[in-house]
Amino acid sequence: MKKPQLGDWIEHNEPFFGRVNYGQVVQLLAAQFCYQPINSKYIRYCMFKEIWKPSTKKEAIEKSPESVESKAKSIKKRRPKAASAKTVTR
């Protein structure tokens, strides 16, 4: 498959993790490229030999999973409350 160019939108399929990411290519390396998923501040890596294909920004916005903020809220709801720390006096 043809290598992406900087600024291209891609769809990265990760069947082992059961997810599909959409993002914009921000860096090209020798055997892989880096892309920034939509609605995320983190950079992801994709090997040229992995399962990926070109996409459009419109398609990425329509098909991307929920925003990072709503994911963080759902994780917060599931997280058990921390036990209160008791001070030890001697």
Q: What is the 3-state secondary structure (H, E, C) of the chain?
A: CCCCCCCCEEEEEECCCCEEEEEEEEEECCCEEEEEECCCCCCEEEECCCCEEEECHHHHHHHCCCCHHHHHHHHHHHCCCCCCCCCCCC
Q: Please give the model's pTM, rounded to 2 decimal places.
A: 0.68
Pick 15 or 63 by higher pLDDT.
Answer: 15
78-88 in b/e burial notation, b at 16+ Cβ within 10 A?
eeeeeeeeeee
> Which pLDDT band holds residue 56 (cuts at 50, 70, 90)?
very high
Q: By the 8 A CB rule, do 9 and 56 touch? A: yes
Mean per-residue pLDDT, 2-25: 93
Both structure tokens of 85: 């720390």
Q: What is residue 79's predicted lDDT score, i.e. its pLDDT? A: 56
Q: What is the pLDDT of residues 34-53, one digit of tens each?
A: 999 988 899 999 999 999 99
